[in-house]
Structure 1
Amino acid sequence: MPDEELLAIAHPMWEELIKYSNKGQYGKFIKKFSYNLLFGLNEVEVGKQFAKSELTRSLSKDYDFLGTIRRGEHVTILYRVRSTKKEGEWLGRMVLGFEDGEVRIFGASIF
């Protein structure tokens, strides 16, 4: 998939992750996750993160796209992320791939 098509899909997915992370809406946050990612999640730990992490509840809607890393059947999209409450910058990472003919999220994190 060319970068333009990929980013037209990736950026809205990233924006949804930020939106639902900030709202603490776990069910909506994971709605585009792949089956394997969902299967491997520890829902108790993710729930604690939503409840206790100031960073994951205060992500700025403004982000910078940094680039892509293509590897096998997956593409990693990298973003510079900021918080509305904490100073500094973080690296956002979202791994995309196809599952049952749809683009799904195979990994998402902020470092």
Structure 2
Amino acid sequence: MNIIDQTDEEILAVAHPFWADLVKYSNEGNYGKFIRNFSYDLLLGLNEVEVGNQFAKSELTRSLSEEYDYLGIIRRGEHVTVLYRMRSTKKPGEWLGRLVIGYERGEIKIFAASIF
């Protein structure tokens, strides 16, 4: 099964709850719940110390607004990228949120997530 064959509505039905969880658990600094939908390959590539430092020291990753704007979907290969306009509750300005999802062993998983 390839996620790029799904409709926007089907993709967003999974992506939006994934993104909401990432924002919530980033704000809480809850690493265990933050990574719970990550793909196996993404988990292998994570540096837990670096991620822990981001949670502890980054004002942005601990102050993401739970209100954000969906911008669009990009389909490529076996993954889709879902883009969000993000804001902070403490820092002025806007950031681009990126969520990359696809199938792993029959389940939709997160292959990348970032804030620029």
Q: Aligned partners of 1:28, 1:107: CA distance in 2, in Å?
A: 15
1:44 to 2:49 alignment: yes
Task: Find the partner of 1:10 among 2, 5, 15.
Answer: 15
Q: How many residues are aligned here?
A: 111
Which of structures 1 and 2 has the larger relative contact order (alpha carbons within 8 angstroms, sep 6+)? 2
Structure 1 runs, 4 residues or longer, greater than 4 Å off: none
Root mean square deviation of aligned Cα: 0.3
What TM-score do you get using the length of structure 1 for normalisation? Answer: 0.99
2:3 match: none
Which has the larger strand fraction? 1
Q: Counterpart in 1 of 2:93?
A: 88
Structure 1, unaligned runs of 5 or more: none
1:10-32, CA deviations, whole angstroms, 9 ceiling, x for partnerless residues?
00100000000000000000000
The residue that corresponds to 1:68 in the other structure is 73
| 2:100 counterpart letter in structure 1 | V
Displacement after TM superposition at 1:84 (Å):
0.3
Percent identity between the two aligned chains: 74
